Amino acid sequence: MPSSTDLVHAVSADLEKIREAAPLVLSLTNSVVQPLTANLLLAAGAVPAMLNDAEEAVEMLRGGTDALLVNLGTVTREQGTVMQTAVQEANRLGIPWVLDPVAVGALSLRTRLAEQLKERRPRIIRGNASEIMALAGYSSVTKGPESTSSSADALQAARELALHTGAAVLVTGRTDYSTDGRQVIATENGHAMMSRVTGVGCSMGALAAACAAVSPSPLQAAVSTAVLMGIAGAMAFEQSPVPGSFAVSLLDSLYTLSPEEIARRARILPL
């Protein structure tokens, strides 16, 4: 397992690669979070694209897309068909894709869709504890899209889900856990204010897609996502400790994030 120091260096390398390569991320995401998701990708150095048509999704994927995000936040049956088509084409082309199973386990349509999608080789699955537990087949209780369990409660479920799907699983919470089923890496950055702004978690899924486009492994991409988003969130709170301006400061902090700041702030613990 790589050391904490090696992982910190890899996080900085992933951010630099995003800024250099400007990966195009096709985000099939929910209507509530689209502006923040697009702006966060831009702040990281990636290029966002968003649409809701199956034919256009295939065209976009064939036209140079580097990664795909599938977020179930406001999914409809029609959007589910678009997502299935996009995932099939992404897999055919070898494009990494990220599954964000918002509120899975709480509502039936998205739960059925997520159960199907998890079998189609996502590179990363990102969710809160309740979502990951539900997707792994564990009993979980949710409050809408919010988790009622801690990220540590979902660690065993995350490992099993990773082994079953071949994906790296990123469980977000007060402590974030990234696992490929064998290795587990904890990251302790971020701030509670991140849960007070709609779309921060969903935007994290988009950042995971950008990281997956450039990172040497899904596990490293998951770790980089957690660290970059967490540090940006902590920096944003220092500048703007209230929700409205915090959202803007989050973008500014990610945009200005330096390797020196990452080295100083990153709290990564291989378990």
Domain residue ranges in the chain:
4-270
Instruction: Could you list the residues known to form a binding site for substrate, using ranges.
Output: 50, 199
Numbered residues of the known binding site: 50, 126, 172, 199
CATH of domain 4-270: 3.40.1190.20
- Per-residue pLDDT of 162-221, as tens digits, reads 999 999 999 999 999 999 999 999 999 999 999 999 999 999 999 999 999 999 999 999
pLDDT tens-digit series, residues 32-64: 999 999 999 999 999 999 999 999 999 999 999
Of 149, 174, 147, 177, the closest CA to residue 162 belongs to: 177
The whole-angstrom separation of Cα 72 and Cα 2 is 33
Query: Which tens digit of pLDDT belongs to each residue from 131-160?
Result: 999 999 987 655 545 555 688 889 999 999
Q: How far apart are CA 54 and CA 162, in angstroms?
A: 28
Query: What is d(CA 78, CA 246) in angstroms, rounded to the nearest whole number?
Result: 34
Backbone angles phi, psi at 265, to 5 degrees: -105, -25
DSSP output for 200-268:
HHHHHHHHHHHHHHHSSSHHHHHHHHHHHHHHHHHHHHHH--SHHHHHHHHHHHHHH--HHHHHHH--E
